[in-house]
Amino acid sequence: MGKKTVRFNCTHCGHCCTDVICLPTPWDVMRIVRMTGAEPYKFLKFVLSDEIGEVEDSDPTWLECQGERYLMAVRRGKKGCFFLDKKSRHCSIYEARPILCRLYPFKLNETRKGEFKSFTLHADVGCPKHTDGTVETAPLYELYLDDSRHQKDYEDLVRVFNSRRPKKRKPKDFIKLFHDPR
């Protein structure tokens, strides 16, 4: 059954929206487009492997293009995420935000059988991790399961993309595999 709560209080310090590269799945992108009308060619950026150190080489979502490897990310400027409201410093697409944003800074712990055990706070992230609040774990676990299913679809799309070998394939061509602007 696992632990029902995790001690955490988000103080809205803004770290995760300014200093962390946000990596959406294609499902996240489609939800953002559907709920906000935002244009993926404007809010997505494809980051090179040397721009993002914390993702393992073996991660199955690397896009391979002409000898380089890229990850699909939400564009960031000097003041943070594309969707961070410059005045209020709040997420301007809060209801549609990517699942990873919703799960930060929680870390899932499972039993040996792969059953839910608990959520704790990631040790190696910049979140101040205040523990003077209580968060229910059941909705977090639902999000995690949702993200796992989407991750699998994402990997399948990346496999299709990487198996095609047109001479001038560009990372942004990946968007065409799941988003039809018509």
* CA trace torsion 35, 159, 66, 171 (10° rounding): 0
Q: Cβ of residue 164: shortest distance to ligand SF4, in angstroms?
A: 29
Closest CA to 83 of 105, 98, 100: 98
Question: Interface with ligand SF4 includes 12 (CB under 6 A)?
Answer: yes
Question: Interface with ligand SF4 includes 106 (CB under 6 A)?
Answer: no
Question: Interface with ligand SF4 includes 13 (CB under 6 A)?
Answer: yes
Question: Interface with ligand SF4 includes 22 (CB under 6 A)?
Answer: yes
Q: Which of 29, 73, 91, 108 binds ligand SF4 (CB under 6 A)?
A: 91
Question: Interface with ligand SF4 includes 101 (CB under 6 A)?
Answer: yes
Question: Interface with ligand SF4 includes 97 (CB under 6 A)?
Answer: yes
Tokens of 35: 């709920």
Question: Interface with ligand SF4 includes 79 (CB under 6 A)?
Answer: no
Question: Interface with ligand SF4 includes 31 (CB under 6 A)?
Answer: no
Q: Cβ of residue 8: shortest distance to ligand SF4, in angstroms?
A: 8
Segment interacting with ligand SF4 (CB under 6 A) among 9-17, 33-41, 53-61, 141-149: 9-17
Please report the sign of the dihedral spanned by the C-alpha atoms of residue 173, residue 79, residue 140, residue 60.
Answer: positive
| Residues at the interface with ligand SF4 (CB under 6 A) | 10-17, 22, 74, 81, 83-84, 91, 93, 97-98, 101, 104-105, 127-128
